[in-house]
Chain A
Amino acid sequence: MPLLRLESVSRDFDVSRPWLNRVIEGAPRRMLRAVDAVDLEVRRGETLALVGESGCGKSTVARLIVGLYAPTEGRVEFRGRRMQMIFQDPYASLNPRWRVRDIVAEPIRILDPEKKSSVKRRVSELLVQVGLSADDGDKYPHEFSGGQRQRISIARALAGEPDLLVCDEPTSALDVSVQAQILNLMTELQRRLGLTYVFISHNLAVVSQVADRVGVMYLGRVVELAAAAELFSRPRHPYTRMLLDAVPDLQMSGKARTPVAGEVPNPLDPPTGCAFHPRCPHADERCRRERPSPVDAVACHAVEEGRI
């Protein structure tokens, strides 16, 4: 029984011109489909990563999971106790007027008011757990560096004793040496507390470092879903291959790279058939006409037909 299940979840956003323009100019209503019929399962104790370029809908999925957005269609099923979210920007997600101990205590005060008497001890425990000191509770967020602030966000998320943590680009705003600290911390916490992560990132190398399974998103859809080791050694969808080819090569092996062509299309006016076909070297008539459904967790006609 998965901890979390998304059943053909879609989310539309209304991007119409203002009412007056619609009345006077007769401009039509316009809907943007940010997430399109996404099916996902997250198992207890694993890290499922969602990866893709900007505008692919990965952050919208995160917000659908935690209920910050309601799905337009489909359903989200959660069989755990609680979930918490960790955001990208540790400067925006902590209240600058609160002391750190109040920030970390807030979930306990709201969710577990019966534990009020032990809040102080619990906050100290949490701060130590994320690599800060208990005395740091007296300080304000501005007294900390970006990496330390992200540690505070993690302590706050853990305060509610969640079984699922949804992390939306948790290290993208951090320097690389600090990113390593946070990724190591998250891995350790997962092992120690048996946490389940949904990990959203645009960075394939970071994802390969933390994920058990990876979903690759393109224009609102999951185009490939596979075990991490599988995906990175044998990518199947042409878009996954293109993404992997585009990652700068730190080994400087001088391997020939397929040049990446084109850009993500405008989601207001998505291409017909497979959304990736204008950039795909394997696209044929069927790809332009017919949208592929996932077969064996890959949504691609060429893979299904055995052409690639």
Chain B
Amino acid sequence: MILSLEGLTVQFPTRRGTLTAVDDVSFAIAPGEILGVVGESGAGKSITGMAVIRLLEPPGRIAGGEVRLEGRRIDNLPHEEMRRVRGRKIGVVFQDPLTSLNPLYTVGQQLVETITTHLPLSRAQARERAISLLQEVGIPGAQARLDHYPHQFSGGMRQRVVIALAIAAEPVLIIADEPTTALDVSIQAQIIALLKRLAQGRGTAVMLITHDMGVIAETSHRVAVMYAGRIVEIGPVRDVIHAPRHPYTVGLMGSIPRIVSSRTRSRLTQIDGAMPRLNAIPRGCAFNPRCPRRFERCLVERPALLSAGASQSACWLHAPAAA
């Protein structure tokens, strides 16, 4: 396993009490595997990603659990050492390419800096490598584009540059947080294809964080669905999409509009209410106030992930009947 999380918990101590943003999250990603992490705003998916790279905004802190990269614990590394791991072993792609790029330096300067920091190459060699990276991510005229500034690129091209930066030091893991959300649908399809190609070709593990089930369906091998800080369902992407087990996943899938080409249009399934705020997570299962299938046990006891077909689902509906 490239990345494995065991019981990761992230808390934000505030004056009005401690908020648990990520609660006992465990999963693992194999080489070449793309794990989709999906959820609505506030589900804790981005914070999980930031916890792995240890870039949580204070006062957020890892309050429990372990993060292992290639078997080695990284959640307790000293800052300086973590900084090297982050650059060398983990590449990161954020939603807005402009936050990852320095507007005052050319794309080439930024690539060369990243490469020479992490790999034993001369500047000339690094420049050669920068050109081949830009070619690999599909930027036409790579040689000339090296001397351009970020503002001279279009949105889609900028995201390609960010991906080139993320893979510059040949990381074993890429964390992509909503990499296509800011892009138009035709550009989005290109970036999805690129991410898939890279994971396959280089055997890189990818943690793909997104709210868009369509993007997950196109790219991921497995998917973890998050709700109120916890994983409520995790399994192979086909199973989760075609046969969701958790009532939240069922509602989520039903609420996604699909292209219908017939005249008969059906109402979208809707989950009433909204995700609870972190300071008001209900007792028992966090989803119970919105759940159409809740029963008594859901109100008092919080379900752990239970086996449900090829997936695991944190729902008492899947508890063995004997229990």
Interface residues of A (CB under 8 A from B): 53-54, 145, 147-148, 175-181, 183-184, 187, 202-206, 208-209, 229, 232-233, 242-250, 252, 257, 259-260, 263-264
> What is the CA–CA distance of A80 and B84 in the complex, to the nearest angstrom?
65
- Take A180-B255, A246-B186, A260-B186 as given contacts and tell me if A233 and B154 are in contact as well, using a CB distance cutoff of 8 Å: no
Evaluate contact between A247 and B259: CB separation under 8 angstroms.
Answer: yes
- Take A54-B184, A202-B184, A252-B238 as given contacts and tell me if A257 and B189 are in contact as well, using a CB distance cutoff of 8 Å: yes
Evaluate contact between A176 and B255: CB separation under 8 angstroms.
Answer: yes
| A-contact 0/1 string along B33-44, CB 8 Å cutoff | 000000011000
B36 to chain A, nearest CB (A): 12
| CB contact between B260 and one of A187, A209, A249, A263 (< 8 Å): that residue | A209
Evaluate contact between A183 and B257: CB separation under 8 angstroms.
Answer: yes
| A-contact 0/1 string along B214-254, CB 8 Å cutoff | 11011000000000000000000110011000000001101
Selected interface stretch from B89-97, B100-108, B266-274, B315-323: B266-274
| CB contact between B186 and one of A147, A148, A242 (< 8 Å): that residue | A242
| CB contact between A260 and one of B40, B189, B274 (< 8 Å): that residue | B189
Evaluate contact between B187 and A184: CB separation under 8 angstroms.
Answer: no
A308 to chain B, nearest CB (A): 19
Evaluate contact between B257 and A184: CB separation under 8 angstroms.
Answer: no
A132 to chain B, nearest CB (A): 13
Closest to B41 in A: A175
Chain B: residues with Cβ within 8 Å of the partner, total of 46
> What is the CA–CA distance of A259 and B237 in the complex, to the nearest angstrom?
23
B150 to chain A, nearest CB (A): 16
A-B CB pair tally, cutoff 8 Å: 120
A-B contacts, 24 of them at CB < 8 A, read A54-B184, A176-B211, A177-B255, A177-B271, A178-B274, A180-B268, A180-B271, A183-B257, A204-B259, A205-B257, A208-B260, A232-B259, A232-B261, A233-B261, A233-B262, A243-B186, A246-B185, A246-B186, A246-B188, A248-B189, A249-B218, A252-B241, A259-B189, A260-B187
Evaluate contact between B184 and A264: CB separation under 8 angstroms.
Answer: yes
Closest CB pairs A-B (n = 9): A248-B214, A180-B255, A233-B261, A175-B40, A53-B184, A180-B268, A232-B261, A205-B257, A246-B189
Evaluate contact between A263 and B156: CB separation under 8 angstroms.
Answer: yes
> What is the CA–CA distance of A260 and B215 in the complex, to the nearest angstrom?
15
Closest to B260 in A: A208
> What is the CA–CA distance of A148 and B272 in the complex, to the nearest angstrom?
11
> What is the CA–CA distance of A250 and B244 in the complex, to the nearest angstrom?
13
Evaluate contact between A249 and B214: CB separation under 8 angstroms.
Answer: yes
Closest to A147 in B: B274
> What is the CA–CA distance of A119 and B274 in the complex, to the nearest angstrom?
30
> What is the CA–CA distance of A103 and B296 in the complex, to the nearest angstrom?
41
| A-contact 0/1 string along B160-204, CB 8 Å cutoff | 000000000000000000000000111111101100000000000
Residues of chain B within 8 A (CB-CB) of A263 are 154, 156-157, 186-187
Closest to A206 in B: B257
Evaluate contact between B255 and A247: CB separation under 8 angstroms.
Answer: no
Evaluate contact between B263 and A229: CB separation under 8 angstroms.
Answer: yes
> What is the CA–CA distance of A80 and B24 in the complex, to the nearest angstrom?
57
> What is the CA–CA distance of A180 and B192 in the complex, to the nearest angstrom?
25
B271 to chain A, nearest CB (A): 5
| Interface residue? B98 (CB, 8 A) | no
Seed contacts A53-B184, A259-B189; 14 additional CB < 8 Å A-B pairs: A175-B211, A176-B255, A176-B256, A180-B270, A208-B261, A209-B258, A244-B259, A248-B217, A249-B217, A250-B213, A250-B217, A250-B256, A257-B189, A263-B154
